[in-house]
Structure 1
Amino acid sequence: MAIWLGLLLFLGTVIGMEAFAYAAHRWIMHGFGWFLHESHHRARRGHWELNDLYAAIFAVPSFVLVFGGLNLGWWPGFAWIGAGVATYGMIYFGFHDVIVHQRIPNRYLPKSKYMKRIVQAHRLHHVVETREGNVSFGFLVAPKPEMLKAELKRRARAGIRAPARPRETQAGTHAPAVES
């Protein structure tokens, strides 16, 4: 396979994974898979939550595609696609778990408009505790926070948690309450 075609498949997969992540989040995680994802909408106790199983579940097709494309004589494009899936997973982990939820303590503060927008959109997603009534299911592409706030208001704030007081984080600093 020509390297340019492999790189095109890889890049197309990384970009296309945002659409897949949106659909999986909206219709699987907030649908029949809520029994795992619900833990992500509650306060976490310890380092892990049941929702973390989704990372392992979504890693399986990536591993199989890379392994099959490199070692089982499958079409070589599968390895590039599997690598694209894995790369999106790493990007997602960096944005979602490290930057937004700070599961690895850090002092990063978003400065660019883009970073502020995706962080705020994800936080607005989390103001709803129930599986219904959420906004912003994508991650690397997010609607403007003003639009999300208007949609939450239009829904009469159904399922929105009570305002939270600042809480202690693992790093010992106060995390700001989410503005709704």
Structure 2
Amino acid sequence: MNLFAAAAITLGTFAFMEFWAWFMHRFVQHGPLWVLHRSHHVRPSPRPFERNDWFFVIYGTLSAGLWMSGANGQRWWFWVGVGIAAYGTVYFFVHDVLIHGRLRFWKKSDNTYLRALNMAHKMHHKTQGRDDSAEFGLLWVSPKYLALAREKKLKTVNEKL
């Protein structure tokens, strides 16, 4: 498989995973698999691992299976597995490390996009129940949160002056 096709499949899979994560979060995790996801909405979490972490295991196993059976990059599904793994890695660092602080090496950011993403996620966790939540995506941020983050950043800059 040529490099362009491999990159296109990987990037396409990564982009699709944002839609897929939103769909699964909205209709499956806050639906029939709430029994697993509920642990993520309990704050503070009483354990270092939550039932919700099974979703990482599920997608990690799927990704590993695809790239392990993908003939070392010769089959298209190898690159799908790479795209899923790349999205999962970004998801872990943004969601679990930056937003929820499960590992304490990445402090809050001044970056407008990351602050907007954090605001949107806080809106999702505003309710601890499975119903009445909002903002189910990870990387796509509603423009209203970007505007709020810009406003707060300008206010902070002006206060320092």
**Does the pair score TM above 0.5?**
yes
Kept in 1, the 8 Å contact 2:120–2:141? The answer is: yes
1:87-143 superposed Cα distances (whole Å, 9 cap, x missing partner): 000000000010000000135222121111101100110011111110000000122
* Matched residue SS, 1:128: coil
Counterpart of 1:111 in structure 2 is: 110
Give the whole-Å Cα distance in 2 for the aligned partners of 1:55 and 1:18.
15
Counterpart of 2:126 in structure 1 is: 127
Gap regions ≥5 residues in structure 1: 148-180
Give the whole-Å Cα distance in 1 for the aligned partners of 2:55 and 2:130.
16
TM-score w.r.t. length of structure 2: 0.84
Cα deviation for residue 145 of structure 1 reads: 3.5
TM-score w.r.t. length of structure 1: 0.76
Q: For 1:22-33, what aligned pairs fall within 5 Å after superposition?
A: 22-33=22-33
Counterpart of 1:51 in structure 2 is: 52
Counterpart of 2:9 in structure 1 is: 9
Give the whole-Å Cα distance in 2 for the aligned partners of 1:146 and 1:106.
25
Q: Which has the higher contact order (CA 8 A, sep 6+)?
A: 2
The RMSD of aligned alpha carbons is 1.8
Counterpart of 1:61 in structure 2 is: 62
One-letter code of the match for 1:59? G
Counterpart of 1:91 in structure 2 is: 90
Counterpart of 1:39 in structure 2 is: 39
Cα deviation for residue 46 of structure 1 reads: 2.2
Task: Give the % identical residues.
Answer: 33
* Matched residue SS, 2:96: helix
* Matched residue SS, 1:145: helix
Give the whole-Å Cα distance in 1 for the aligned partners of 2:31 and 2:108.
32
Counterpart of 2:151 in structure 1 is: none
Judged with a 3 Å threshold, the aligned counterparts in structure 2 of structure 1 residues 85 and 107 are, in CA distance, closer, same or farther, namely closer
Cα deviation for residue 27 of structure 1 reads: 0.7
One-letter code of the match for 1:66? W
Cα deviation for residue 37 of structure 1 reads: 0.2
Aligned positions, number:
145
Structure with greater proportional helix content: 2
Gap regions ≥5 residues in structure 2: 148-161
One-letter code of the match for 2:18? E
1:40-97 superposed Cα distances (whole Å, 9 cap, x missing partner): 00020121111111100111221111111126xx961100110000000000000001
* Matched residue SS, 2:31: helix
Judged with a 3 Å threshold, the aligned counterparts in structure 2 of structure 1 residues 107 and 69 are, in CA distance, closer, same or farther, namely closer
